[in-house]
Amino acid sequence: MRIPILVLTLILAAVFLGTAVPKLTGQTQMRERMDHLGVSTGLTRLLGVLEIAAVAGLLLGLLWPPLGIAAAIGLTLQMAGAAVYHARAKDPAGMTLTPVIFAVATVALVVLHVQQG
């Protein structure tokens, strides 16, 4: 059971690190996407900070699973919110489903951690 946790954790950490950095640095493309969703610059940066914290929590969760579980739950909630914002903006189904897929992946990580005990 340890290998699936490791692989899923590393994938999620890489993905969320990749989305957090443009939010924190105010990358033009990210700003435009977030403006389209109606997300302010301040909230965008906060989301980036939360994603960096979650990445750290996911990775440290390999050593202390409760932290990984908490980080994954936080990301699940953030992805649920992202799906709502995409739906409100009437984005195409693929864009709206992307955060849902990542929410499912973070829930899967929680389940794996709990099963491992």
Low-confidence residues of the chain, pLDDT below 70? 1
d(C-alpha 70, C-alpha 67), whole Å: 5
Nearest to 75 by CA among 2, 11, 1, 24: 11
Stated pTM of the model: 0.93
**What pLDDT, on the 0 to 100 scale, is given for residue 1?**
63
Residue 101 corresponds to which tokens in the numbers above? 């897929």
Tens of pLDDT, residue by residue over 59-80, are 999 999 999 999 999 999 999 9
**What pLDDT, on the 0 to 100 scale, is given for residue 117?**
78
**What pLDDT, on the 0 to 100 scale, is given for residue 106?**
98
Sign of the four-CA dihedral 93, 95, 101, 103: negative
